[in-house]
Amino acid sequence: MRVAGAVVTAVSMAAGPFTPPDPAPAGAPYCVLAEDFTPAGADGSYLIDTASSLEWIHPHPAPARREPSASDRLDFAGFPNVSVLDVTGPRGVPEQKVIITYATNVDQVVTLTNAAAVSDDGGVTFGPPDGTPLRESPIELHDGRFFATEYYPARTGPHTARLGVLTSSALEDGESWLRSAATLHTPGDLLPGGAAYGAPIQLADGTILITLYARYTDTGTYQAEVYASDDGGATFHRRGVIARPAGGFWFTEASIEQTLDGSLLAVLRRDGGQYATLHQSRSRDGGRTWSPVREVRFAGMDCVVRGVAPRPLLTPGGLLVLSAGRPDTWLAVSPDGLGEEWTEPRVTYHNRDGIWDTHGSSGYTGLAAVGPHRLIQVVDNCKLPGVSADGTLNETACPAHGRFEHGGWYAIKRLLFTVATPGHRIDLDALRRSGDLRISTTMRWSSPYRARTNPAAAMDGSTGYWSSAVAAGRGRYELHFERPYRLSRIGLSLRPGHPAGARVYVSADGRSWGEPVVTIRDRTDHAMRYDAIGRTARHVRIVTEPTRDCDPEIGASCSMLNEVEVYS
């Protein structure tokens, strides 16, 4: 948002007084993170590699000057988010659209303004930003709509609030978002304030979950909560409380993610101490009850994890990744996809001035998967200013003193990372397109309303529900290679969120198959899972067992091959 000239006159650029933060209390050191992204070793000790150079999103194009002018400093950009959404391109080709959204207003409870930039090449390049109503990241719902919430709920009574909801039926050039107002219901005595932080998620039964932090009369301060909608986002009822205030601490920004075993993991911000710190909790009943909140832990490090704005993400390849910041921005991983312990935390971006480690980036990040083993993280360069009591801008977190290593721009940048995988992954889709892999299958159910559902969708890198090969009953899916491979393992995602079974066979000649090399029974997948093969073969057959309680448009019985990977 460019501030009009009249406003520039009224809003001074003077920085208010700054009090340095107290050091960490004795016996409770704060974590200091490594800053090197060492290339992945053969032993798998480094799970994330840097995959590309930094890319400026805002300003666009990237500025030529190291430091912004005084007027440039009023072109605000901060608090970024990112979504990667499945779309269908020309001639029905599956594609992904990467959308980065960010705030263009000061860090204050004001009428929010936002901008968005879009990439059609997997987040490598982005077009010029434009205004958008989106604040938080949109998701794709099971019914095909794209869905997002606004940020601030408006209290309408002691037990109700109103929250803006944004939906779109198609993400095309010039797309428009339809706004409606959802009603939130809570059993507590609600006070004004709070925010809907974090991306929504949708459970297999269609329930939409969102996280809020809200204030109540019995405590007067914030607690982290989960609200659920079973009517497509028209109404939400409080389903559970993740963390209540206690001991002088309170909980605000909370993000939830469905982990590899189907449980919900919440990572949340705790305030009230010298620094904001990160905590976590787990629910095994769809968000109704939560385990006692505890500190986020880094493996092998006896320290307190500082941070704001956590973003957990389960990748299609089954790795759970955590993005957060302040100071700096960082990533950590949970290789088992559960998030009980986080390993290999690494700083991904900082913009330090050599004075205070909390100067520079706000620490707010966005994180999304671009394919099964590739990530995009978005960061801001300088924390947006607040507004002091006298109406002047408070820029103490990013003063215009010319000392920052990346300059004092209010800017948004993106980074791309790859996730190292053991063994050599055979690029099935590339082989199919080159003619070196032939697919024969009975899994050919399709619908004009499910454009991404087709046999090739099982190797498109997406674990979106409808981005699958589907059969109305038992399915057979065969890979026929031009030459033999020593097959080490296979990764499969079956019907996402539903118990399903499959058998995997291999063959040298495509006629003699023998006994299955992998058998899966009643497994519920939320990402790909991997099984060893250890055979040399030219042909792979996957038989998917029929499941019940299927989508009415498919029929009473169905099976899905959501995604397949093969390693040699």
pLDDT, one tens digit per residue, over 176-212 is 899 999 999 999 999 999 999 999 999 999 999 999 9
Query: How does pLDDT run across 6-56, given as a tens digit for each residue?
Result: 232 223 223 333 333 344 444 569 999 988 776 665 555 556 777 777 899
Q: Residue 117 is encoded by which pair of tokens?
A: 């930039």
Kindly tell me if the per-residue pLDDT of 258 is higher than 70: yes
Mean pLDDT of 141-154: 94
**What span, in angstroms and rounded, lies between the C-alpha atoms of 280 and 533?**
36
* pLDDT for 164: 96
Cα separation of 420 and 250, whole Å?
37
Per DSSP, which regions of 207-297 are E strands? 208-216, 222-229, 235-243, 250-258, 264-271, 277-283, 294-295
How far apart are the C-alpha atoms of 199 and 433, rounded to whole Å?
35
In terms of Cα–Cα distance, which of 338, 332, 337 is closest to 311? 332
pLDDT of residue 186: 98
Could you give the percent of the chain with pLDDT greater than 90?
A: 82
- Specify the CATH number for 425-567; select among 3.40.50.720, 2.60.120.260, 2.20.70.10, 3.30.1330.10: 2.60.120.260
What is the rounded distance in angstroms from the CA atom of residue 468 to the CA atom of residue 528? 13
pLDDT value of position 175? 60
**Contact, 127 vs 74, CB < 8 A?**
no
The reported pLDDT for the residue numbered 249 is 97
What pLDDT band is residue 172 in, cutting at 50, 70 and 90? low
| Location of structure tokens 């963390």 | 243
pLDDT at 130 over 90: yes
- Bridge-based pairing of strands 235-243 and 178-185 is parallel
Give domain limits for the chain. Answer: 425-567
In whole angstroms, give the CA distance from residue 465 to residue 445: 14
pLDDT tens readout for residues 58-114 = 999 999 999 999 999 999 999 999 999 998 877 777 889 999 999 999 888 778 899
Distance CA(455)–CA(442), nearest Å, equals: 9
Two tokens, residue 462: 């997406």
Rounded-to-integer distance, Cα 173 and Cα 151, Å: 25
| CA 17 to centroid of chain Cα atoms | 36
pLDDT tens for each residue of 438-456? 999 999 999 998 989 999 9
pLDDT at 149: 97
Across the range 247-252, mean pLDDT stands at 97
Using a cut of 0.85, tell me whether the model's pTM lies above it: yes
